[in-house]
Amino acid sequence: MSDAREAILRRIRSALGDGNAPTQTGDRQEIGREYRRTDGRAQDTLVELFCERVGDYRAEVQRIASAALEDALTAAALRSGGRRLVVPPGLPAEWRPAQLELVPDAELTTAELDELDGVITGCTVAIAETGTIVLTSDAHEGRRALSLVPDLHICIVQASQIVGTVPEALAQLAPVVSAERRPLTFISGPSATSDIELKRVEGVHGPRKLVVFVTEEPP
């Protein structure tokens, strides 16, 4: 295998000319970034935009006061037939409705996860322009399988977590990746396919139902 490594590196250097010398980090080009890297709009405008864009993906989305969240979570779960929901270890107590049977993720097998109706998670950052929530396997989000295997995903987004653009979100996520190497999952609406005659079908393998609550205050 190291033969292949050396051969490929040699081929690259030969293709690039310069007497087959290795390229140096100093040879790299500064990239002109004339595109928007921030969004100047007011936070409330961004929250509205986020809700509109999440709705465009046919996800359920609702702005809600923290005080009303518990009832709303219960209602949303029951509406989708969800009684037994898995919760990540760090999910705040305010986001754990008493009326539902909540199963803490104590190393559940995937088969056990598959038996559950849904999951409640928070998120790390959300993008208004694209209607995207980003999970980073933090304590209030849980490992990746949690938001993947059960058929219903309820996600709570705090209004202050919403940024305007993709670059703003990635700026927040960079340290999560470089320092902690945590995996990221960008979610924009429920699982979907358009493979048959381009007709969109929601729900193939990921959760078929995505419910997003936007709360004003952190718990």
Residues 61-90 that bind other proteins (CB under 8 A): none
- Segment contacting other proteins by CB under 8 A, of 72-80, 118-126, 137-145, 154-162: 137-145
* Helix H or strand E segment including 213: strand 209-215
Distance CA 126, CA 116 (A): 26
- Segment contacting other proteins by CB under 8 A, of 85-93, 116-124, 155-163, 170-178: 170-178
Beta pairing class for 101-104 and 118-121: unpaired
Buried b (16+ CB within 10 A) or exposed e, 35-60: eeeebeeeeeebbbbbbebbeebebb
CB-nearer residue toward other proteins: 70 or 112: 112
Q: How far is the CB of 45 from other proteins (least distance, A)?
A: 15
How far CA 33 is from CA of 36, 37, 167, 168, in Å, comes to: 8, 8, 11, 14
Q: Is 106 in the site for other proteins (CB under 8 A)?
A: no
Write out the binding residues for other proteins, residues 44-63 only, by CB under 8 A. 53, 56-57
Write out the binding residues for other proteins, residues 107-136 only, by CB under 8 A. 107, 110-111, 114, 127, 129-132
Q: How far is the CB of 64 from other proteins (least distance, A)?
A: 23
Distance CA 132, CA 138 (A): 17
Distance CA 146, CA 113 (A): 7
> Considering only residues 143, 158, 159, 219, which one is a binding residue for other proteins as defined by CB under 8 A?
143
Q: How far is the CB of 139 from other proteins (least distance, A)?
A: 12
- Segment contacting other proteins by CB under 8 A, of 65-73, 82-90, 96-104, 163-171: 163-171
Helix (H, G, I), strand (E, B) or coil at 123: coil
